Structure 1
Amino acid sequence: MKTEALLFAGVAGFFAITAGFYGRYGHDPAGTSVLIVACLMAALVAFFLAVQYRRRGRRAQDRRDAEVADTAGPLDFFPPASPWPLVVAAGFTVIALGVVFGLWLALLGAGVLALGVFEMVFQYAGRQDRQDR
């Protein structure tokens, strides 16, 4: 993950430099804002990957002497079917309809969305892993 972290840090640096030049010579606040947001998003991904590299160390894909068998086995827990992504989608839909029909509907949609996101995030919070890490 170190390579990926450096790659995204380079992308963030590119967007930062581009945003600086564009803000100085472009005189367009919308374009400058978009470039700054792109820089921040790339920096967020680079930070996440750097933290994961520090926490977990080198992967088999990062080593030149690794064998295919080094990556065998279960990778992680992938949850089975869940109803909560549908609730999140319904919440977004009701919020979008609330923009058209009124604030009361958008607030109702925000509640449905919050419930769906909360339940989706904490659905497997108490689950114990079979393997020790």
Structure 2
Amino acid sequence: MKVETRLFMLFVPFFLLCTVVYALWSDWEPVGTAALLLLAGLTAMIGVYLNLLSRRIDARPEDDPSGEIEAGAGDQGVFSPWSWWPLVIGAAAGIVFLGMAVSWWLMAVGFVAGIIGLIGWVFEFSRGQHAH
């Protein structure tokens, strides 16, 4: 987590510098200046979160400069490799974006399909043979 924390925290001064340069060149145009300032703030939020998280968890194999590749072997998480729900969510996102161009009712159809897909994906392991 240390590398990710440093990476995000090094971007904060860069984005602040970009904000100042943009503001001076654009004669303090409010929308772009505010967007770049928010970008710096959100990057700082991620960096602070990763810093707090790295204090609470044990060091990962990636954090050890003399670590070996096999130290990171094993399970990396729980994934559902045969799940169809991400396809449903992707199609729903496509319908929502199409609805932005066509009509609001198509966006509503996309949101409903997205909610159904999200619920199906979250509760995928809570039914059938995988139920706890």
TM-score by length of 1: 0.73
Alpha-carbon displacement from aligned partner over 1:52-80 (angstroms, at most 9, x marks no partner): 31232211222234333322222222321
Alpha-carbon displacement from aligned partner over 1:6-30 (angstroms, at most 9, x marks no partner): 1111112321232244335522234
1:82 maps to what in 2? Answer: 83
Cα 1:114–1:51 shift into 2, 3 Å? farther
* SS state at 2:83 partner: coil
Alpha-carbon displacement from aligned partner over 1:103-133 (angstroms, at most 9, x marks no partner): 11111211112222333244347979xxxxx
Structure 1 position 102 matched with structure 2 position 103 = yes
Cα 1:24–1:88 shift into 2, 3 Å? same
Matches within 5 A, 1:38-49: 38-49=39-50
Cα 1:115–1:47 shift into 2, 3 Å? farther
Matches within 5 A, 1:1-133: 1-26=1-26, 27-124=28-125
Give the % identical residues.
Answer: 29
Structure 2 portions without partners, runs of 5+: none
Deviates more, 1:17-26 or 1:91-100: 17-26
- Provide the alpha-carbon RMSD of the alignment: 2.8
CA distance in 2, matches of 1:48, 1:124: 29
